[in-house]
Amino acid sequence: MTHVSRVSQAPKRLLFGPGPTQVDPSVYEAMAQNVVGHLDPYFFEVAEDVRRRLRAVFGTRNTMTLAVSGTGSAGMETAVSNFTQPGTKFAVFCAGYFADRICEMARRHGATVVRAEKPWGETFDGDEARDFIRRERPDVVAFIHAETSTGALQEPRAICEAARETGALVIADAVTSLGAIPVDVDECGIDIAYSCTQKGLSCPPGLAPVTISPRALERLEARQTPNQAWCLDLKLLREYFDGRKYHHTASSTLYYALQQALRVIDGEGLESRWQRHREVHRYFVERMQDMGLEMHVAEGRRIPNLNTVRVPEGVNDAQVRARLLEQHGIEIAGGFGPLAGKIFRIGVMGPLATRDNVDLFTEAFSAALR
């Protein structure tokens, strides 16, 4: 048998894109621990700790809070598939790519989808949100808290209030917001929120945190048809995580990673982390404006940890991104859909959200734009 004793070395990048984002070295260390079985008491000890810590970052007391195997899209499909049956009226606030994705998922699960539409980069104000929900009276309302394709942050409160008034459940996509900015699940009245691990939580991809309110759980109990997505069936997942009965082989390695990422967040303190992201975002915007660049989203509606900067006239965005990667080891992303070639998507989150890192980025970015 041939032994390959040295592991190959992935390049070291500075992940200034929308995700995956920079991982704390202690998270890599946590991942090097021994693999244990998915029914090992130690696995459940870690899983319980992760669930407790996730409640804190989501801002919820929901017992049904866990991390599903899979990326943010698995979180999205968990939210959609458990609360959608053929004929469910599913309303979506649409102003970007990920809103379109949730519409498509709901449609595939048999929902009748109704959309409130705005151009990519805008958000819905309180009156617009209330009017749409009162008019449509849907069973489920979904919105993207931080629309990563545009850089716009949707305020949840009016959506949640109107949904409560009309009896609809609210799904919030917190894929880009969780861990970097408050999601305030209980305070806002969000029923179902989902996320990923590779953005605001500064962890590698592979798990999808989800949280479900007691009101949504009642709806789930009353459901007559089985969830068509067996892997993401919350009733079965509850038997696994609470009943400790085999459902699938969850990755202990990813659970160790998430546990450590959440411990790092806890060590900093949630309020300080959110404050740091807001402050560094303001600094980032100042630096971009000093360079004569424009932000895509209006002030006050921007995602603090994911900036969208307009590509200047005559500049080829793909060339700039390639230069940044090749010459500086920096990853950023471009726009897509109607924003293809028009914006750069620049994540400043987790360990990279410091003034020094923004300075380092600005210098490289300015050279790459020349």
Ligand X SMILES: Cc1ncc(COP(=O)(O)O)c(C=O)c1O
Q: How far is CA 212 from CA 25, 46, 59, 78, 276, in A?
A: 31, 20, 12, 10, 28
State the burial class of residue 252 (Cβ atoms within 10 Å of its Cβ: 0-12, 13-18, 19+). buried
Nearer to ligand X, 203 or 364 (CB): 203
- Encode 34-66: b = buried (16+ Cβ within 10 Å), e = exposed: eebebeeeebbebbeebbebbbebbbbebebbb
> CB under 6 A: which stretch of 3-11, 25-33, 68-76, 334-342 binds ligand X?
68-76
Q: Select the residue interacting with ligand X from 196, 288, 303, 311 (CB under 6 A).
A: 196
Residues contacting residue 184 through CB under 8 Å, at least 6 positions apart: 59, 156, 190
The least distance separating ligand X from the CB of residue 68, rounded to whole angstroms, comes to 11
Quick check: 67 and 153 in contact, CB under 8 A?
no
Task: Residue 264: name the closest of 29, 70, 15, 35 by CA.
Answer: 29
Q: Select the residue interacting with ligand X from 67, 175, 190, 346 (CB under 6 A).
A: 175
> CB under 6 A: which stretch of 128-136, 169-177, 244-252, 275-283 binds ligand X?
169-177
3-state secondary structure of 100: helix
Q: Is the previous residue joined to 18 through a cis bond, with omega within 30 degrees of 0?
A: no
Q: Select the residue interacting with ligand X from 72, 179, 209, 335 (CB under 6 A).
A: 72
Query: Cβ–Cβ contacts within 10 Å for residue 330, how many?
Result: 22
Query: Which residue number places its CB atom closest to ligand X?
Result: 72
Of residues 145 through 164, those in contact with ligand X by CB under 6 A are 148
Nearer to ligand X, 295 or 333 (CB): 333
Q: What is the sign of the dihedral through the CA atoms of 62, 67, 72 and 78?
A: negative
From residue 16 to residue 55, the character string flagging contacts with ligand X as x (rule: CB under 6 A) and all else as - is --xx------------------------------------
Nearer to ligand X, 349 or 368 (CB): 349
**Strand order through the sheet with 192-194:** 65-69, 207-212, 192-194, 169-173, 140-144, 89-94, 112-117
How far, in Å, CA of 99 to CA of 33, rounded? 38
The least distance separating ligand X from the CB of residue 22, rounded to whole angstroms, comes to 16
Q: Does 76 bind ligand X (CB under 6 A)?
A: yes
The least distance separating ligand X from the CB of residue 30, rounded to whole angstroms, comes to 20
At 45, the amino acid letter reads: E
The least distance separating ligand X from the CB of residue 277, rounded to whole angstroms, comes to 16
Nearer to ligand X, 176 or 211 (CB): 176
Q: Which stretches within 208-316 are classed as H helix?
A: 214-222, 234-241, 252-268, 270-290
Q: Does 71 bind ligand X (CB under 6 A)?
A: yes
CA atoms within 13 A on the CB side of 321: 19
> CB under 6 A: which stretch of 8-16, 58-66, 172-180, 309-317 binds ligand X?
172-180
Nearer to ligand X, 144 or 348 (CB): 144
Q: Select the residue interacting with ligand X from 122, 173, 184, 331 (CB under 6 A).
A: 173
> CB under 6 A: which stretch of 48-56, 69-77, 246-254, 273-281 binds ligand X?
69-77
Q: Does 205 bind ligand X (CB under 6 A)?
A: yes
How far, in Å, CA of 297 to CA of 151, rounded? 7
Q: Does 176 bind ligand X (CB under 6 A)?
A: yes
Of residues 119 through 148, those in contact with ligand X by CB under 6 A are 144, 148
The least distance separating ligand X from the CB of residue 356, rounded to whole angstroms, comes to 26
Q: Does 60 bind ligand X (CB under 6 A)?
A: no
> What are φ and ψ of residue 234, in 5° steps?
-65, -30
Q: Does 105 bind ligand X (CB under 6 A)?
A: no
Q: Does 284 bind ligand X (CB under 6 A)?
A: no
Q: Select the residue interacting with ligand X from 83, 90, 98, 284 (CB under 6 A).
A: 98
Q: Give the interface with ligand X as residue ranges (CB under 6 A).
A: 18-19, 71-73, 76, 98, 144, 148, 173, 175-176, 196, 205
